[in-house]
Copies of this chain bind each other. A is one copy, B any other.
Amino acid sequence: MTRENHRENVAGRANVEDTPELLAYYDELDGFNTGALWTVANKIEPWEPKSASVPVLWRYADLRDKVLRSVDLVTPEKAGRRVIYFNNPGRTDVSAAVGWIYGGLQVMNPGEKATAHRHSASAIRFIMEGSGAYTVVDGHKMTLGRNDFVLTPNGTWHEHAVEETGTPCIWQDGLDIPFVNAMEANFFEVHPDLSEPVAYPVDDMTKTWGNAGLTPGGGAWDKGYSPMFKYEWDRTYDALNAYADASDPSPFDGTLMEYVNPTTNGPVMKTLGASMQRLAPGEATKAHRHTGSYLYQVAKGSGHSIINGQRFDWAERDIFCVPSWAWHEHANASASDDAVLFCLNDLPVIRALGLYREEALGENGGQQPT
């Protein structure tokens, strides 16, 4: 076995050639569960991040039928949940869509309910189609329409369902399962009653906490996640338009707003963040790159993104990912309608730990050659 794989001829970097004496020394170190740092130093201290994930576009046109087919193929009782998950070619070992983020498409028929459970992983359930979906989170029932999402934070009991009077619903699940597993901190529990009672007025958490600039008198909230629970599309879209009126777009992101916990202005959960961004008719952004992993879903409109030089054309409901430190830029295909992208990410982790860094593309007017 050779040990000199990562040599670099640069001052301050390891550059040690294998010798018989060294190879013997290395073998000896192995016997004591140790190694010589200089054989791996350049590998474990890279000049900059090189993500294991690859950019992928998942077309809803391809996946919708497959998700619906699962209804015929497996029962909820056997499958737990009928979900097609995004399996990034670079992350199949941890079943991740990108980085440490799990994503999948789930389908549920009217009258169905998933078994109530809780886990240390945190989730965002983003509704894509259908009516009558709702989720109960620690006894709070939140009704859900298209492009709305609900939080099921670390440790909360939750139960997804579709009303008898609804239609088949498809939504995107986004979770930090791979991350929490990597941290060796994931616990899972099935609700002792398999289901969970509704204990409060319907949608009480958004009614109580979802009022800009107003907080409930005497109200206190000190949990590590947002009490709003549900974030609605209509209000988000209005907010994006109002903010667009009042400000210039970012050259990299158009008009972007981050979903926040209204009691902290911080992320909706400690480990998963979300944002919505609007590209004006005809808008094309410049390229930049930053740390963190990002899973996009097209909430409205069509266009394309260029990620590390590769172009991905997307339509409404398509999903795509941007790995850490990958160059990316977005363009709206329409000259008359806006396009809106929902984005799930691990920015709360990256920022809380001081690991955020970004860079603008300087060459070529800020546009990647493709």
Contact = CB atoms under 8 A, between A and B. Distances in A.
Contacts of A48: 186-188
Interface centre among A66, A212, A260 (most CB of B within 10 A): A212
Which residue, of A44, A74, A182, A231, has the highest number of chain B Cβ atoms within 10 A?
A: A44
A239 B214 contact: yes
Contacts of A52: 184
B84 A37 contact: yes
Interface residues of A, number: 144
Interface string A68-93: 01100110011111111111110000
A4 to B, nearest CB: 11
B217 A250 contact: yes
Interface stretch (A200-208, A298-306, A307-315, A330-338): A200-208
Contact of A38 (B81, B238, B250): B81
A181 B186 CA distance: 21
A270 interface: yes
B95 A218 contact: no
A213 B228 contact: yes
Interface in A2-33: 10-16, 21-22, 25, 28-30, 32-33
A217 B256 contact: yes
Interface string A336-363: 0000000000000110111111000000
B181 A25 contact: no
A264 to B, nearest CB: 7
A85 B215 contact: no
A130 interface: no
A182 B182 contact: yes
Interface string A90-104: 000011000110101
A368 interface: no
A34 B212 contact: no
A12 B80 contact: yes
Nearest to A15: B78
A45 B357 contact: no
A236 B214 contact: yes
Contacts of A211: 212, 235, 238-239, 242-243, 257
B257 A184 contact: no
B212 A242 contact: no
B81 A37 contact: yes
B36 A84 contact: yes
A253 B49 CA distance: 38
Interface in A174-199: 177-178, 180-191, 194
A172 B16 CA distance: 22
A85 B40 CA distance: 10
Interface in A286-332: 291-293, 323-325
Identify the 10 closest CB pairs spanning chains A and B, nearest first.
A217-B256, A211-B239, A184-B324, A37-B83, A12-B115, A204-B246, A207-B246, A12-B190, A185-B355, A207-B242
Interface of A: 10-16, 21-22, 25, 28-30, 32-38, 40-41, 44-52, 56, 58, 62-63, 66, 69-70, 73-74, 77-89, 94-95, 99-100, 102, 104, 115, 117, 119-121, 154-155, 177-178, 180-191, 194, 200-201, 203-205, 207-218, 224, 226, 228, 231, 235-236, 238-239, 242-243, 245-247, 250, 253, 255-265, 268, 270-271, 275-277, 291-293, 323-325, 349-350, 352-357
